[in-house]
């Protein structure tokens, strides 16, 4: 019998790479292995090709029986517009969590401060997963005394997303090793899937060389650093910088461009169509994808650059540091301006060498990031996790029981202790029976 999957994700036309590059690519491939229903919290129409078999939900209005009827696979990212509702239902209906970001303070803080004004619960979550210090730093953040990037680097809340999970999928070997060491969840590492584009016609690159950066431009994308590096570079007129995408609220990037006198070489394009972006990438000589601090994510932005054989500057951190140094150009944290200048010098001296770096990236994309392999692997993993649900429930009950009993009289005669012991024993027996049936 074919498995049933409930795929919880944003969909196009949402301005999200998880919608456009990830789910839109995977859904036809997933349906080769399972019956798939897509669950979406968008408050506008989805693209026509996805209109069938979509369940719209809110945390307050969700068909829980239908959601329980298959294995839920929840896409968790930091954008509260597209992932807050998914976060909410994932905490009520256990499933497989796909962590597109692992530093999740942006999501959790956004839900509790911006949507709910629920300071008490935000404090409780920080304290539960990271202790009293995280709770106090969270208070400073709540009162606008610290940035989200700062608190996310110290207290990421990764485990909060996995609290009720049947299993987790991550796209970074580093994150996989960190979480696997805790021995708490079934985990699967898979390279982020991305379909390589047909090879574009090669265009001759000459000065002024075009530099491109794109995506959602949050504060950790270091656009201000890139602009200051260009301003300080003596041969900056040899380059043009094109920035595609939307900026975070309250940014001062347009003012900074004017202050640094870069209006003639820097252009802001906003959100554009995929076709327009691809044309820009095909005409560029260098991509920029800096992240500091990293939110723990694998980068669809870098994979998109690789799909166009475009060499890219990346920060040596997190998932980016796992990449081969012959497929990216590394920028060291806190030495960004020096390293940007070093790479601009190298590009001017030997543009063909940079083209080779882009080709190396494309080969990695074709070999390691195949969407068909990903769809098959995540389906198999979801089925395995669903079969392990009694064991997961037993472990979670043991944890909750330990927390309750820690504050209670735990003498053998205590009825509470006896009831808890019976429930744990029943779940443990069920888990053992399930494991025995699987082995036969």
Q: Which domain CATH number covers 243?
A: 3.40.50.2000
- Identify which of 298, 300, 356 has the alpha carbon closest to the alpha carbon of residue 328: 356
pLDDT of residue 62: 95
Residues 357 and 213 in one domain: yes
pLDDT of residue 325: 95
Mean pLDDT, the chain, rounded, equals 90
pLDDT, tens digit (0-9, with 9 covering 90-100), for 128-143: 999 999 999 999 999 9
Across the range 192-211, mean pLDDT stands at 85
Query: Which structural domain, as residue segments, surrounds residue 261?
Result: 209-369
**Torsion angle defined by CA atoms of residues 9, 10, 12 and 18, in that order, rounded to the nearest 10 degrees:** -70
Determine, yes or no, domain membership for 16.
yes
pLDDT of residue 416: 65
Q: Give the rounded percent of residues in the chain with a pLDDT score beyond 90.
A: 77
pLDDT, tens digit (0-9, with 9 covering 90-100), for 13-46: 998 999 999 999 999 999 999 999 999 997 667 8
For the chain, first and last CA: distance in Å? 18
- Identify which of 50, 58, 106 has the alpha carbon closest to the alpha carbon of residue 80: 106
Lowest model confidence (mean pLDDT) among 11-25, 58-72, 116-130, 382-396:
382-396
pLDDT of residue 289: 97
Asked whether the whole model's pTM tops 0.95, one would answer no
pLDDT of residue 436: 45
Q: How many domains does the chain have?
A: 3
Across the range 3-9, mean pLDDT stands at 97
Residues 234 and 280 in one domain: yes
Residues 258 and 302 in one domain: yes
- Identify which of 308, 271, 313, 311 has the alpha carbon closest to the alpha carbon of residue 292: 313
- pLDDT band (50, 70, 90) for residue 316: very high
- pLDDT band (50, 70, 90) for residue 327: very high
Give the integer Cα–Cα distance in Å for 227 and 417: 63
Q: Could you give the 3-state DSSP secondary structure of residue 312? A: strand
Give the integer Cα–Cα distance in Å for 138 and 131: 11
Determine, yes or no, domain membership for 52.
yes
Give the integer Cα–Cα distance in Å for 185 and 242: 43
Give the integer Cα–Cα distance in Å for 21 and 215: 12
Q: Please say if the pLDDT value at position 410 is more than 90.
A: no
Lowest model confidence (mean pLDDT) among 12-26, 96-110, 261-275, 402-416:
402-416
Residues 264 and 393 in one domain: no
pLDDT of residue 203: 63
Residues 233 and 272 in one domain: yes
Concatenated DSSP letters of 321-365 = GGS-TTTSEEE-TT-HHHHHHHHHHHHHH-HHHHHHHHHHHHHHH
Residues 334 and 435 in one domain: no
């Amino acid at each position: 019998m074919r498995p049933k999957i409930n795929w919880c994700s944003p969909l196009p036309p949402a301005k999200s790479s998880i919608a456009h590059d990830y789910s839109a690519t995977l859904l036809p491939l997933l349906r080769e292995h399972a019956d798939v229903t897509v669950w979406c919290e968008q408050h506008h129409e989805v693209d026509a090709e996805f209109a069938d078999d979509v369940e719209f939900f809110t945390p307050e209005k969700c068909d829980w029986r239908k959601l329980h009827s298959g294995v839920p696979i929840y896409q968790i990212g930091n954008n509260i517009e597209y992932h807050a509702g998914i976060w909410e239902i994932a905490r009520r209906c256990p499933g497989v969590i796909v962590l597109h970001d692992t530093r999740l303070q942006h999501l959790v803080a956004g839900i509790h401060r911006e949507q709910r004004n629920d300071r008490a619960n935000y404090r409780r979550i920080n304290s539960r997963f990271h202790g009293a210090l995280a709770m106090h730093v969270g208070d400073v953040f709540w009162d606008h005394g610290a940035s989200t990037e700062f608190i996310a680097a110290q207290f990421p809340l990764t485990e909060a997303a996995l609290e009720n999970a049947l299993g987790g999928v991550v796209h970074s070997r580093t994150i996989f090793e960190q979480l696997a060491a805790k021995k708490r969840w079934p985990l699967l590492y898979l390279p982020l899937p991305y379909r390589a584009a047909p090879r574009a016609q090669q265009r001759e690159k000459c000065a002024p060389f075009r530099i491109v950066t794109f995506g959602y431009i949050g504060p950790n994308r270091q656009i201000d650093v890139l602009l200051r590096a260009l301003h300080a570079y003596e041969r900056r007129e040899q380059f043009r910088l094109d920035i595609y995408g939307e900026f975070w609220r309250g940014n001062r990037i347009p003012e900074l461009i004017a202050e640094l006198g870069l209006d003639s070489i820097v252009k802001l394009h906003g959100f554009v169509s995929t076709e327009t972006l691809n044309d820009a990438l095909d005409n560029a000589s260098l991509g920029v994808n800096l992240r500091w601090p990293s939110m723990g994510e694998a980068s669809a932005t870098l994979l998109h650059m690789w799909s166009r054989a475009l060499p890219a500057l990346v920060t040596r951190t997190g998932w980016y540091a796992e990449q081969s140094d012959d497929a990216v150009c590394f920028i060291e944290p806190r030495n960004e301006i020096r390293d940007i200048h070093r790479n601009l010098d190298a590009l001017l001296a030997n543009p063909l060498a940079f083209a080779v770096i882009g080709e190396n990236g494309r080969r990695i994309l074709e070999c390691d990031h195949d969407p068909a392999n990903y769809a098959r692997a995540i389906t198999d993993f979801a089925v395995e996790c669903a079969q392990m649900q009694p064991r997961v429930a037993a472990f979670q009950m043991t944890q909750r029981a330990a927390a309750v009993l820690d504050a209670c009289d735990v003498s053998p005669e205590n009825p509470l202790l006896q009831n808890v012991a019976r429930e744990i024993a029943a779940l443990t027996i069920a888990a053992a029976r399930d494991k025995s049936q699987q082995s036969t």
